[in-house]
């Protein structure tokens, strides 16, 4: 089958045409891929084979982890009802047996595998996943749209983990990428009074505007544009840092009111310079991380909001490309794109830039 493979630690990937099908173990299913959306982490993996080292990535590896499709084959002991089902897949593959898994906290599994990192992923015609990691897509959600449920779920999980009641509250969100835009829509659905998005990229700000969300660039201080009530409290009730940029996390910490919560969602690299007494202790702030999605509460709540029309995921998709389009997708994501979806059914481009890059890289 055709698949996008990270071969070695250098830059680039290869579109191979004869990737061997993985045989099915007990409890596994084979999924025919309908859509696989491209994530910022795929970009990091494309640039360097070392980017996935701290997540346990081994090479060669088929990339891609945000996926929807149809179950076409069952391994032994997989539930028969899954055959033919439309599913999206949880990226974080839980073992089902460790203490976390047995305690209803499978997203903290101590033997967690990661799709497209520790096992072959979704930028392929088909992939093999555990049946227990499949989420049945509600009939009302298009297959293609369902590929976005995973990244959207990261936003939902962060909202749930914040523990903050958003009704009537003021919310600061940095990063109008797919996660930030969904977090903003969730906040609106939950009755937030004011949602302020901070995003330097004008194309992403335009996308936010089309979703009815107001945003500002990084040159403006969020508190300057906040409503009177937010300013009178000295800052926002809660902030979600979804950009992964260190300065944005610092702005978030500076822009919330006393005893507010700052959720760190975007993968900020490096050490945070933090004045513990001035920033955290005397202002009573909570700084909390959020990683992945809970099984299956996040998915249930997220898809329910999509079905209810309160979160628009379909509009986040701005480009559809064949598997050969991954390099173009990564370029688009640096500039003008919302979410880019790879559809393995689309014919590959005749002059795949992909292969050229790979040739350059190997040369």
Given the rule CB under 5 A, which residues bind Zn ion?
A: 39, 94-95, 98, 101, 109
C-beta nearest to Zn ion: residue: 39
Q: How far is the CB of 60 from Zn ion (least distance, A)?
A: 20
Nearest approach, Cβ of residue 179 and Zn ion (Å):
9
The residue (of 42 and 199) whose beta carbon lies closer to Zn ion is: 42
Q: Which is nearer to Zn ion, 95 or 206 (CB)?
A: 95
Minimum distance of Zn ion from residue 92's CB (angstroms)? 10
Q: Give me the least distance between CB of 99 and Zn ion, in Å please.
A: 8
Distance, in Å, from the CA atom of 61 to the CA atom of 156, rounded to the nearest integer, reads: 29
Residue nearer to Zn ion on the CB measure, 181 or 251:
181
Of residues 94 and 126, the one with the C-beta less far from Zn ion: 94
Q: Is the CB of 101 or the CB of 252 nearer to Zn ion?
A: 101
Q: Tell the smallest beta-carbon distance from residue 283 to Zn ion (Å).
A: 32
Comparing CB distances to Zn ion, the nearer of 17 and 334 is: 334
Q: Could you identify the residue written with the tokens 């009074």?
A: 193
> At its nearest, how many Å lie between Zn ion and the CB of residue 121?
10
- Give me the least distance between CB of 113 and Zn ion, in Å please: 10
Interstrand relation of 236-241 and 170-174 (parallel, antiparallel or unpaired): parallel
Residue 187: enclosing H or E segment and its boundaries? helix 178-189
For the CA atoms of 69, 146, 269, 184, the dihedral, rounded to the nearest 10 degrees, stands at: 180
Structure-block tokens of residue 276: 């513990």
The nearer residue to Zn ion, 30 or 94, going by C-beta atoms, is: 94
Smallest CA-to-CA distance from 167 within 194, 141, 206, 138 is with 194
CB 123 within 8 A of CB 62: yes
CA 238 to chain centre: 21
Could you give the CA distance from residue 174 to residue 240 in angstroms, rounded to a whole number?
6
- Residues with Cβ within 8 Å of 68's Cβ and at least 6 positions away in sequence, in order, are 33, 34, 35, 86, 87, 88, 89, 137, 143, 144, 145, 146, 147, 149
Distance (Å, whole) CA 317 – CA 66: 13
> What are phi and psi for residue 167, nearest 5 degrees?
-60, 120
């Amino acid at each position: 089958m055709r698949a996008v493979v990270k071969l070695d630690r250098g830059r680039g990937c290869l579109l191979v045409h004869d990737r061997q099908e993985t045989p099915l173990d007990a409890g596994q299913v084979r999924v025919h891929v309908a859509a696989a959306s491209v994530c910022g982490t795929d970009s990091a993996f494309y640039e360097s084979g070392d980017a996935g080292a701290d997540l346990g990535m081994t090479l060669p590896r088929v990339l891609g982890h945000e996926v929807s499709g149809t179950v076409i084959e069952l391994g032994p002991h997989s539930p028969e009802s899954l055959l033919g089902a439309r599913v999206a897949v949880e990226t974080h593959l839980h073992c089902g047996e460790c203490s976390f898994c047995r305690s209803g906290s499978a997203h903290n599994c101590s033997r967690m595998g990661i799709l497209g990192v520790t096992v072959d992923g979704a930028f392929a015609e088909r992939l093999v996943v555990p049946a227990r990691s499949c989420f049945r897509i509600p009939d009302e959600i298009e297959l293609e749209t369902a590929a976005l449920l995973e990244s959207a779920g990261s936003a939902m999980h962060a909202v749930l983990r914040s523990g903050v009641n958003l009704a009537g509250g003021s919310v600061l969100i940095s990063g109008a990428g797919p996660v930030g835009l969904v977090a903003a829509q969730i906040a609106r659905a939950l009755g937030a009074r004011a949602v302020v998005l901070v995003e330097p990229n004008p194309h992403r700000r335009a996308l936010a505007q089309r979703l009815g969300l107001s945003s500002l660039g990084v040159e403006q201080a969020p508190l300057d544009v906040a409503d009177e009530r937010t300013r009178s409290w000295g800052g926002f009730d809660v902030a979600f840092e979804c950009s992964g940029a260190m300065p944005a996390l610092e702005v978030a910490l500076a822009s919330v009111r006393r005893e507010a919560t700052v959720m760190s969602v975007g993968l900020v690299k490096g050490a945070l310079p933090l004045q513990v007494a001035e920033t955290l202790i005397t202002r009573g702030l909570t700084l909390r991380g959020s990683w992945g999605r809970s099984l299956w509460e996040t998915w249930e709540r997220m898809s329910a909001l999509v079905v209810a029309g309160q979160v628009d995921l379909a509009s986040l998709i701005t480009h559809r490309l064949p598997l050969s389009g991954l390099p173009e997708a990564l370029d688009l994501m640096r500039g003008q794109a919302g979410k880019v979806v790879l559809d393995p059914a689309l014919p590959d481009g005749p002059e795949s830039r992909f292969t050229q890059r790979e040739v350059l890289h190997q040369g």
